[in-house]
Amino acid sequence: MRYAFLGDIHGNTEALGQILAHLAGNKIDKIVCLGDIVGYGAEPVQCLEMIRALKCDVIAGNHDWAAVGKISIDCFNAYAKAAALWTREQLTDEQKGWLAELPLTLTYEHCAVAHGTFHQPEAFNYIQTVFDAQQSFGALRELGARVGFLGHSHVPVGFFDTDPITYTLDPEMPLDPELATIVNAGSVGQPRDENNKASYASYDTDTGVVNIHRIEYDIDAAATKIRKANLPEILAARLYQGK
């Protein structure tokens, strides 16, 4: 079984289009979207419809629910808040209803998924340290899974439930069948690991290997659309920087 996990698209059709083209050239049995289809970028509607056309499984991200008023944007920074309010104006009522009904977690035969954490998925917190990961390993086991995939931090990384917990930034991650593992797939539309290429993860259950794929896309086009939409300039500039 070969899975593909992609999330944090953030209204970036250029990045999403290149990811989908890359997926089309690979044998993928199941695509899962890890949330945050919208927010930040200039084409939330187009990205939402591209994902819906895949008929893939989708979970909720904080920007998805912020765009429909299901969670408060008071904790968002000024740029994220401006983008969330702008995004609300772009979506139809039907699209908002679809986003509002997205689940927080899903569990499969080989893995489980959430947007931010497994231990409090509704809080949309981050797993950025081994301490953060430790809290979610227990919740992952309660879901009946050994492998978990997340988004939210926009930084691809794998955490392993060793003693003490270890992590890797390597793009190829052979999984130990005796260890629980949590993998962040990175971000399609707004990477933050100082690599501006779009990111997604694949998982081959036969080989037990997770791969992080980095794909080039037309950053100029995506940034130009953000500027034309009069969204904050930083949302365009950071695409080049990958942070």
Rounded to 10 degrees, what is the CA torsion of 95, 101, 104, 107? -110
| Number of domains present in the structure of the chain | 1
**Which candidate, 207, 194, 239, 171, places its Cα nearest to that of 12?**
239
Parallel/antiparallel/unpaired status of strands 112-114 and 105-107: antiparallel
pLDDT tens-digit map of 171-191: 999 999 999 999 999 999 999
- Asked whether the beta carbons of 237 and 223 are under 8 A apart, the reply is yes
State the average pLDDT over residues 77-91. Answer: 97
Residue 48 domain flag: yes
User: What is the predicted pLDDT for the residue at 167?
Assistant: 96
- Looking up residue 110, the CATH number of its domain turns out to be 3.60.21.10
CA distance 46 to 56: 16
Cα angle, residue 149 at apex, residues 174 and 29 outer, rounded to 5°: 75
Distance CA 44, CA 61 (A): 13
In a domain, 162, yes or no: yes
Q: Which residues contact 126 (CB under 8 A, 6 or more apart)?
A: 116, 117, 132, 152, 153
Residue 54: both structure tokens together: 């895949």
Report the candidate in 149, 150, 171 with the shortest Cα–Cα distance to residue 215.
171
pLDDT at 25: 87
User: Please, what is the average pLDDT of the chain?
Assistant: 97
Domain-located, residue 1: no
Within-domain flag for 14: yes
Q: What per-residue confidence (pLDDT) applies to 184? A: 98
Domain presence at residue 10: yes
44, 90 contact by CB (below 8 A) = yes
Does some domain include residue 58?
Answer: yes
Q: pLDDT (tens digit, 9 = 90+) per residue, 211-229? A: 999 999 999 999 999 999 9
State the burial class of residue 97 (Cβ atoms within 10 Å of its Cβ: 0-12, 13-18, 19+). Answer: exposed
Q: In which domain, by residue range, is 83 found?
A: 6-241
